[in-house]
Amino acid sequence: MLCPRGHATTSEGRKLGLFSRRYCDVCHEKVSRRGGFYHECTAGCDFRVCGICKKEADKSNYIVEPCTFTFPSGLGPFSIQRTSLEGSDLFCADERRGGTWILQETFFQHGRSLQRCWKALLDNGVAIELPRGRTGIAVDLSPVAPTKLSSEVRRANRIPDVPGVMIAWMYALQLEWHMILGDSDREEDGTAADWSFLTVGGFVFLQVDEKSQLQVLCANSVSFHPSGPMQFSAPQPWCAEWTRKLAEAGRFNKVTVQKWASAGARYMCWICPEEKMLRPGARHGGFMFLFHELDEEDTGGRDRFFEIVGAPIASEARTLELLSQIPKRSSQPEILQSALPFRVVGEVPASSQHMEDLRQRCFKAACNGRWSLLAHILTESGLLVPPKAPRGQTVLHKIAAGRPKTRRAAELLRFIHAHGGDLEAQDSSGQKAYNLGDQIFRAQACEIWGLVPDLFADPEVWFDYWDGSKDGHLSPAELVPALAAAYQVGELGRQWIESYVNTHYREMAALDPDARLTKSAFLSDDGLLYKLQSSEEFISLRGQEDSPGKKMPALFRTEGRKKPTAADKEAVKKFSKALEDLRTQNGWNRPGHAAPSHARLLQVSGPFPGGDADPEARMKAARQMLAWSFAKTTARSGKEWVQGFKIQFTGDDVGIDHGGLTKRWVQEVGHALWGSEEFFDTKASGSFFKPDSITDMRVHAFHVKAHSLYRWLGRFLAYALYQGCVLDCALSPWALRWLIRVSETHAALPPALAAVAGDWQREGEDGCIATISGSVLLSHAAEDGLPPQIALSVSGDSIQADFEGEALSAKLSGGRLRWSDGDVWVRCFDAPIPRHAALPVWDETPAGDDQLLEDLATMDPAFANSLWRVRYEMPDEDLQWLTFSYAGKELVPGGDDIEVTPENKADYVRLCCKAALLYSSQKGLQAFSDGFFDVLPPTLFHGAPADVFQWLLLGDAQITDAQIDKLEQVLVPDGLVPKHLKDSSELQTSVAWLFEIIRKGDSKFRSRLFEFWTGSERLPLGGIEAIEPKPRLQVMISQEKPLLMANFQWEMQLPSGTWSSYSPEISGSLNNALEGGLRMMEVQLGRNMYVIDIGARLQVNRRTGERRRIRRRKIQSL
- Asked if residue 861 and residue 808 are part of one domain, the reply reads no
| Banded model confidence at residue 336, pLDDT cuts 50, 70, 90 | very low
Beta strands in 8-154 (DSSP E): 14-15, 37-40, 48-50, 66-67, 78-82, 90-92, 99-104, 128-129, 135-141, 145-146
Q: Whole-angstrom Cα distance, residue 611 to residue 147? A: 58
- Residue 561: the pLDDT is 60
Determine the pLDDT at residue 975: 64
Question: Could you read off the pLDDT of 832-878 as tens digits, one per residue?
Answer: 777 766 778 888 877 677 778 878 878 887 787 778 777 776 778 87
Among the listed residues 670, 662, 668, 653, the one whose alpha carbon sits nearest the alpha carbon of residue 595: 662
SS3 380: helix
Residues 984 and 912 in one domain: no
Q: Which of 448-462, 472-486, 492-506, 508-522 has the lowest mean pLDDT?
A: 492-506
Residue 84 to residues 139, 166, 175, 195, 598, Cα–Cα distance (Å) = 17, 19, 21, 10, 42
Q: Residue 1057 CA to chain centroid, in angstroms?
A: 58
pLDDT of residue 427: 82
1063 — pLDDT class (breaks 50, 70, 90): confident
The burial of 1022, by beta-carbon neighbours within 10 Å (0-12 exposed, 13-18 middle, 19 or more buried), is given as middle
Mean pLDDT over 1091-1097 rounds to 85
Co-location of 891 and 767 in the same domain: no
- Give yes or no: residues 876 and 802 share one domain: no
DSSP 511: T
- 474-506 pLDDT, tens digit per residue, is 888 888 888 887 877 766 466 667 766 765 676
How many angstroms separate the most distant Cα atoms in the chain? Answer: 117
Task: Name the band, by pLDDT with cuts 50, 70 and 90, for residue 203.
Answer: very high
- What is the average per-residue pLDDT within 83-97? 78
Q: What is the pLDDT of residue 372?
A: 62
Measured between alpha carbons, how far is 884 from 891 in angstroms, rounded to an integer? 5
Rounded to 5°, the CA angle 117-119-122 comes to 110
What is the residue-averaged pLDDT of the chain? Answer: 76
| pLDDT per position as a tens digit, 974-1000 | 666 566 666 666 777 777 777 788 788
Q: Let me know if residue 950 belongs to a domain.
A: no
pLDDT bin (cut points 50, 70, 90) of residue 56 is low
Residues 388 and 472 in one domain: yes
pTM for the full predicted model: 0.50
308, β-bridge pairs? 232
Q: Say if residue 905 is in the same domain as residue 998.
A: no
Which among 450, 518, 448 is positioned nearest to 488, based on CA atoms? Answer: 448
Per the CB < 8 A criterion, the answer to whether 560 and 686 are in contact is yes
Q: What is the pLDDT of residue 219?
A: 93
Higher pLDDT, 1018 or 465: 465
- In the predicted model, is pLDDT for residue 593 greater than 70? no
672: nearest Cα among 710, 707, 626 = 626
Kindly tell me the burial class for residue 316, based on how many C-beta atoms sit within 10 Å of its own C-beta (0-12, 13-18, 19 or more).
exposed
State which of 172, 205, 223 marks the end of a domain: 223
Residue that finishes a domain, picked among 187, 203, 223: 223
| Residues 218, 85 within the same domain | yes
β pairing state of 267-271 and 90-92:
unpaired
Q: How many domains does the chain have?
A: 7
Indicate whether 247 pLDDT > 70.
yes
> What CATH number is attached to the domain comprising 1075?
3.30.720.50
Buried b (16+ CB within 10 A) or exposed e, 442-470: bbbbbbbbeebbebeeebeebbebbbeee
Q: Which residue has the higher pLDDT, 563 or 139?
A: 139
Structural contact between residues 272 and 286, judged by C-beta atoms closer than 8 angstroms: no
pLDDT digits (tens, 9 = 90+) for 787-826: 778 888 888 888 998 877 788 899 988 888 998 888 899 9
pLDDT for the residue 326: 38
Q: Which domain holds residue 53?
A: 14-58
Bridge partner list, 9? 41
717 assigned to some structural domain: no
In a domain, 126, yes or no: yes
Q: Do both 82 and 219 map to the same domain?
A: yes
More reliable by pLDDT, 333 or 1039: 1039
**Per-residue model confidence (pLDDT) at position 127:** 83
DSSP SS3 for 1032 = coil
Mean pLDDT calculated for residue range 1064-1081: 78
Hey, CA dihedral for 448, 453, 455, 458, is it positive or negative? positive
223, 254, 276 - which closes a domain: 223
pLDDT surpasses 50 at 275: yes
Angle at 429 between CA 427 and CA 433, to 5 degrees: 40
**pLDDT value for 383:** 58
For the sheet containing 14-15, what is the strand order? 14-15, 37-40, 48-50
Which H helix or E strand runs over 704? strand 702-705
Q: How far is CA 968 from CA 262, 971, 992, 999, 1033, in A?
A: 58, 5, 9, 11, 10
Distance of CA 790 to the CA centre of its chain: 29
pLDDT in the model for residue 341:
24
Strand 232-233 relative to strand 253-254, pairing: unpaired
Question: Does residue 150 belong to any structural domain of this protein?
Answer: yes
For position 368, what pLDDT does the model report? 77
Counting beta carbons within 10 angstroms of the beta carbon of residue 904, is it exposed (0 to 12), middle (13 to 18) or buried (19 or more)?
Answer: middle
Higher-pLDDT residue of 604 and 184 is: 604
Per DSSP bridges, beta strands 166-171 and 145-146 are: antiparallel
* pLDDT score for 871: 77
Per-residue b/e over 186-223, b at no fewer than 16 CB within 10 Å?
Answer: beeeebbbbbbbbbbbbbbbbbeeeeeebebbbbbbbb
68/668 Cα distance (integer angstroms): 49
pLDDT, tens digit, for every residue of 209-242?
888 888 899 999 888 776 678 888 878 777 787 8
- For residues 323 and 446, the model is more confident at 446
Q: Is the pLDDT of residue 312 over 80?
A: no
**What is the structure's pLDDT at 494?**
66
Same domain, 109 and 47: no
Decide: helix, strand or coil at residue 747: helix
Query: Which residue in 432, 451, 375 sits closest to 407, CA to CA?
Result: 375
Shared domain check, 853 and 908: yes
pLDDT over 60 (residue 391): yes
User: Are residues 515 and 388 located together in one domain of the fold?
Assistant: yes
Report the candidate in 848, 926, 927, 856 with the shortest Cα–Cα distance to residue 886: 856
Same domain, 810 and 891: no
Q: Which of 281, 229, 200 is nearest to 68 (CA)?
A: 229
Q: Is residue 1039 part of a domain?
A: no
Contact predicate 528/521, CB 8 Å: yes
Report yes or no: 881 and 365 within 8 Å, Cβ to Cβ. Answer: yes
The amino acid present at 67, given as its one-letter code, is C
Does residue 770 belong to any structural domain of this protein? yes
For residue 805, being part of any structural domain is answered with: yes
Decide if 621 is inside a domain.
no
Residue 819 Cα distances to 290, 719, 759, 798, angstroms: 46, 41, 16, 10
Residue 566 in 3-state DSSP?
A: helix
Task: Look up residue 613 and give its DSSP letter.
Answer: G
Share of the chain above pLDDT 90, in %: 4
